[in-house]
Every structure is written in structure tokens, then in C-alpha cells.
Amino acid sequence: MKTTRIVAATFLVWLLAAYAQQPPRPPIVQQPNAPLQKQTFKYESTTQLVVLNVNAKDKSGNPVEGLKAADFTVTEDGKPQVIKVFEFQRLEENVLPPAPEPVKPPKGAPPAPPPPPTVAPAVQTTITPARPGEIKYKDKRLLVLYFDFQGMPPDDQIRVQKNALKFLNTQMTPSDLVALMTYAGELKVLQDFTEDRDAVIQLINKLVIGEASEMANVVQDDSSEDTGAAYVPDDTEFNIFNTDRQLASLEAAVKMLATLPEKKALVYFGSGVTRNGIDNDAQLRATINAALKSNVSFYPVDARGLVATSPVGNANVGAAGGGGRGNGGNFSGGAVAARASNFQGSQDTLYALANDTGGKLFVDNNDLSAGIVQAQKDISSYYILGYYTTNVALDGKFRRISVSINNNLSAKLDYRHGYFASKEFKKFDSSDRERQLQEALMLGDPLTDLSIALETDYFRMARDRYYVPISIKMPGSDLALAKQGKSESTRLDFIGEVRDSKNAITGSVRDFITVKLSEETAAQLAKKTVAYDTGFVLSPGSYSVKFLARENETGKMGTFQAKFVVPDLSVDAQYLPISSVILSNQQEKMSNTVGNAVGGGRGGMRLFNFNPLVQNGQKLVPSVTRVFRRDQELFVFLEAYEPAADKTQPVIATLSFYRGNVKAFEAAPIQVTDGLNPNTKAVPIRFSVPLAKIEPGRYTCQVSVIEPSAQRFAFWRAPMALLP
């Protein structure tokens, strides 16, 4: 069935002043006989050095030495390129002698004085960049040991520390240069590339075991344990439930390495990366593309080692307290299936990082040092080739590279076969910006300078039609405003599309909104969040959404892409059909919007007015991030559907909060006896709960709905967090 696009959209900055129309600019009039003003001309030249690491091996797998630049032919998109940088990196394979054991004090000797307290350096350590075309580390293998302590249990951190020391003590070669990075909510470079093994060993011995382990990926299914533990909040609501920040940290790490032309291996130590359905897939792709552009291969090492999980869980975790639909997960098999699925899912992202960057995933082995050796062995002697591309367009498009050997020389070549060009949007004029905005949506290299959180929901309109509102949220601190007299303003562009399972476009949206704020409200913008919403009418099925936003003062752009499903609620008559459940902490008057884009004639307005989140001139604003504070009120909204009813069949709804599998709070049940929509057959259900009654922490919110007359029920669950 043909889908219809809803072109009505609203843009709101919560708690800020209402949108004010910009005054028109006076026309520019050329005065007759006016003297010509002196003009300044600016000439710019753009060059881009592309560096390739080429492994040339013979039939026996040994490196082929003695080749010259003239022996290679390099093409980009079929066009020959001139090699300007050429170097052979000869790497030794002999292992250094074992590091000496620390000298133990003799028995009876007085204890050594405690070491002086460490003082943080005034200037943070970073990776020293190289000049364009400079081979900074001749005949050296560059290894980055990256410790992701975010959510890594203490026993895994101890295992990682022990095996990293094992590699340094017994398996390091004279060609190895090692850098250290850690992530525990913040990326830190502990050591630049060095061959000083003792200095690296001292830093690893100083790692704080247990740091950030409380931020483990929490699952909410039959396998989740009953801990009752309090939640330690992150510093921003945009990074509590997703792994985007961990991936963004990896992206920042590889960008530090971009100026070094040598081949680099980043050995990632972590306890898996779990993606839970509200993550931004664009961040994963952006991290991989940044690694490809920087000549970095990921070698993820699963710090959990070889895991043999018992059916009811290991001894180091609490027992599952039951779950499912009233059945104990340990007895129905639900806990076993959920535990296996969660474990496999936590390795899928690691596999994608390794496979797409030319690295390898190291799992199911307790000797984690072998994962470092695997990266070490993959970087054998190789050639560095560099050329200045003849295509200087900063369009962000993929460039395909081909390398071959001349003179009938026989060798197997291994190299990266392409890269994404740099992109710069802020220098374009209005027509260029419009064209580039369209092209940016199609780029294989997503843009992540602007943080975006997105939520898709569904509400039944008819048997085969569903209204799908799309809610987008951005931190106000990401937006830049231009000063205009006593006010400040910016323009925001939005473009998005929805594709079905066959990759056909079923809906699209294009909006731009100019926001003008007073000085007082503009000063508050950094502490607020910005929301935009639009919607589509879709048939049941599987879809993907890709949305892009641009802030036009600095040119920052952000992409969000994800998959979602519109279920067919008429398939299973055994259960009561319900819509998506909306969690919100705010109801806003439509007059409070700071920008508004409504079009599409009467049809667009009719579809916009259908939005069940708009009632009596007020809009229920979805939370999107599902992060709340105790001084707020939680609004919950959903619809139950009674397709065969002519009048409302009473339903009873309950709202509960679970910590693990322990019920921490339950609101008073409500009974709905009227309100049936004669067109959609929807019965609206609303809760309002002051959150001051609930302790801060991480919860699972559950809504249960029962229709006693038909003996049908439905329930919905989703994670949420409550901050102090």
C-alpha cells in the first residue's frame, strides 16, 4: 500500500521563549556613480596526502624486499596517481630478553618508604603527530594498547592487566613501539609511542582496578540478576543507555593516529560491547571509517576469556529472579537463551570493528596476551606509499584505490582498497549547502559532530495503516548562535528518509527552521535540550530510518540511523493490541515552539492533527533518552485497541518499576471505562507519577494492560534511569 508522508513538524526548545519572526533585511541598493571599492581576492589551494601501507609477500608468505616506487602503479577511481612518498619498513621478529624481575628486599629489612603522591601533569599526554610526508618511526611496529574499563568487571580488569604485562615481559620485539590509552568515561592517553618497556610496565601496574566497572552493560530480560544496586549517573543523559560514547572514544583515538603514515594496530581490551536497540548505528560506521582513513586496524580482545556459562549463571552473579510471563527464567529455558543471546550480541560489535578494518577478533582464550601477539604478527615488513590525490573535492565520497606491481613481478599485495574523502560543508553558499545536505544523507561516512538521539513509535490508524511519529533530541550545548543586535539566532536544517525491507524509500522529510532567541533565553540554551518531531504513515513491516541535522553557524552535522519494526497488531488475537508506550517528563503548549514548519495543505494538517501526542493544544514530548530526575513528573501514554467494539470495553492498567527482577515501585492501578475513538478503535491510557517517591537508580519500567471481558492482556517493558 502506498504510504503517505506527514509534512507537519514542530521544533521546540523546552522552557525557552516563544519563537519570534526575524525582521526582513533591507534591500541593498547600488548608488549611481559610486566609487569602486578596493576588492580583496583570496586564493586557496587544497591538497590531500593519501598514505597506503602495502604488504608484498611471495608464494611462501615471506616479505618481498628491494622494490622501488617505479615498480608500483597506484590508481584512484581509475585515474593514475604519482607516488610522492615511498619507504620500506623492515621489522624485526626476534623477541627481547625477558624483563628482569623486581629485586625483593632481604628478610628483616625495614619496609620501603611509601612512594610520593602522584600529581597529574599540567599538560595531558597525547600522541605526537607527524608532519605531512614524514616517516616518524622508521622500521618500527606501532601498537596501541587500549583498555576500555567502562563496564569491565574487576576480575576481567585484573586478567587484562596480567596478560598485558606478560606480553611486555616476554613477547615484545625491538621493533615494537607501544602506546597506552584508557577509557573510563573519558579517553586518556597514558603513554605516547615508546620502546621503553619499563615505563610502560610501570604505567600498567598503576592502573586502578575496579575503575568504571559499575557502568557495566545491564540487560533486562530473564537472565538479569537481582542486585538492587544503586545506579551511578553518567554526566549526560545522551550516553546512559547506549554505547555511542565508547565508540566515539575509539573514533577520537584513531584520529589521533591519523598523521602517522605507518601501519598501526589498536588492541582493544573490553568485556564486549552490548547494543540495545536505541544506539546510533551511524557512530559505529563513523568509527570504522575513521580507522580506515587513519590506517588503523582494530584487534579486539574479549577480556572475559574462555567462558563456560552454567544454565543458571556463574557463581559471581546473582541468581535470576524469574521473569518472562510469570514463569521462572531458570526453569523455562528463557534465562539460558537470553544469556547466550546477550553474550553473542556483546561480541558482534567487536567483530564488526575487526572485520571492517582488517584486524582480527580474539575470543574464547584465557591467554589474552596472544591477542596482542596476533596484531604483532600481522604487521610484518611492508611498504609505505603516499600520493597527493588529483581529486581535491571535499565531498566525503568513497574513493576506490588499486595498487599493482609492474614488470611482471609476482607478489601478493595486501592494502586498503579505498577511503572516504574529507568533507567540509560550512564554506558552501546556499545552493551548494542545499545540494550537499541531500548528498550528506547518502554518504557512507556518517557525520557525528552533532549529537542526536531518536525514537520511533507507532499508533494504529486502521487495520493496515499506522502513524509513526519520529522524535529527535539534541543537546543545546552543541548549537552555536549568531549575535544579531539584542538577540541571537541560528538556522537548523533537517532531512531524513524511511526505507522498507527492500530498501525502497517509503517516506522523506526536509525542513529548515530559523530560531531567534533573546539574550536571556540564549544563555540558558547550553543547559537545555532541543527537540524536533515529524511523522509518517506506514504499513506493518520492517524499516530503517536515517536522519541528518545541520547547525548552520559552524556547519556541524549529525546523523542518526537505526532499524525499527511496525508490528501488525491484528495478527495475534490472543493478546490485547497496544501502541508504543511514551515516557515523558514534559507537556508543552504548541504556542511555546521556537520554530514551526507546517505544510502539505489540508492533507498535511489533517495528518498532523491526528497525532495522538497532541491534545487540547498541548504536546506530550517523548523523553527519547528515558532519563529523568526526581524533581520531575513522569507522564506515561499509550493506546489499547478494541477493533470489534462499538463502545469502550473497560481495561485495567498498572505501572511498575523494577530494579533487576525486584519490584521497587508500583503506581495505583487505573481503570479506563470510556474514551473509545470510533475511527481508530483506540482507548487512551494515561499515567502521571511524581518521581520524588522513587529512589535514584536504573530501572525497568513495565506497563501491564488487562481487558477482563475478553480475558486478554499485554505488557511493555523498557529501561529508564532516574537521577537525583
Encode pLDDT of 69-116 as tens digits: 999 999 999 999 999 989 999 888 788 888 776 666 677 767 767 666
What is residue 219's predicted lDDT score, i.e. its pLDDT? 42
Q: What is the pLDDT confidence band of residue 166, given thresholds at 50, 70 and 90?
A: very high
Q: What is the pLDDT confidence band of residue 432, given thresholds at 50, 70 and 90?
A: low
Task: Specify the range with the lowest mean pLDDT, choosing from 125-129, 340-344, 628-632, 667-671.
Answer: 340-344
What pairing do the DSSP bridges indicate for beta strands 264-270 and 141-148?
parallel
What is residue 312's predicted lDDT score, i.e. its pLDDT? 60
Specify the CATH class of 140-378 in words. Answer: alpha beta
Rounded to the nearest 5 degrees, what angle is found at the Cα of 309, between the Cα atoms of 307 and 311? 170
Q: Report the mean per-residue pLDDT for the chain.
A: 78
Cα-Cα-Cα-Cα dihedral sign, residues 476, 477, 479, 485: positive
What pairing do the DSSP bridges indicate for beta strands 465-475 and 453-456?
antiparallel
Strands of 435-481, DSSP E: 453-456, 459-462, 465-475
What is residue 102's predicted lDDT score, i.e. its pLDDT? 65
Q: Who has greater pLDDT, 593 or 322?
A: 593
Equal CATH topology for 1-19+427-574+593-608 and 626-724: yes
- Averaged over 427-444, what is the pLDDT? 66
Give 635-653 pLDDT, tens digit per residue.
999 999 998 888 999 999 9
Q: What is the pLDDT confidence band of residue 723, given thresholds at 50, 70 and 90?
A: confident
The domain ranges of the chain are 1-19+427-574+593-608, 140-378, 626-724
Q: Distances in Å between the alpha carbon of 240 and those of 194, 218, 221?
A: 35, 11, 18
What pairing do the DSSP bridges indicate for beta strands 541-551 and 712-723?
unpaired
Q: Which CATH number fits domain 1-19+427-574+593-608: 2.60.40.10, 2.60.40.3880, 3.40.50.300, 1.10.238.10?
A: 2.60.40.3880
Judge contact between 574 and 488, C-beta under 8 A. no
Rounded to the nearest 5 degrees, what angle is found at the Cα of 148, between the Cα atoms of 142 and 153? 140
Task: Specify the range with the lowest mean pLDDT, choosing from 191-205, 343-357, 680-694.
Answer: 343-357
What is residue 165's predicted lDDT score, i.e. its pLDDT? 93
The most confident of the ranges 420-429, 478-487, 545-554 is: 545-554
Judge contact between 377 and 359, C-beta under 8 A. no
What is residue 452's predicted lDDT score, i.e. its pLDDT? 84
Burial 49-81, CB ≥16 within 10 A → b, else e = ebbbbbbbbeeeeebbeebeeebbebebeeeeb
Q: What is the pLDDT confidence band of residue 555, given thresholds at 50, 70 and 90?
A: confident
Whether pLDDT at 235 is above 70: no
Judge contact between 404 and 56, C-beta under 8 A. no
- Averaged over 707-718, what is the pLDDT? 90
* 137 closest CA partner among 240, 264, 33: 264
What is residue 83's predicted lDDT score, i.e. its pLDDT? 93
Please give the full DSSP string across 22-33, using - where no structure is assigned. PPPPPPP-PPTT
What is residue 278's predicted lDDT score, i.e. its pLDDT? 61
- Averaged over 677-688, what is the pLDDT? 92
Q: Distances in Å between the alpha carbon of 334 and those of 239, 339, 680, 704?
A: 29, 8, 35, 20
Whether pLDDT at 279 is above 80: no
pLDDT-above-90 percentage for the chain: 27
Give 34-79 pLDDT, tens digit per residue.
444 445 444 445 578 888 989 898 888 888 888 999 999 999 999 9
Cα gap 168→203, rounded to integer Å: 12
Q: Which CATH number fits domain 626-724: 1.10.3720.10, 2.60.40.2550, 3.30.2130.10, 2.40.160.40?
A: 2.60.40.2550
Q: Which helix (H) or strand (E) holds 492?
A: strand 487-500
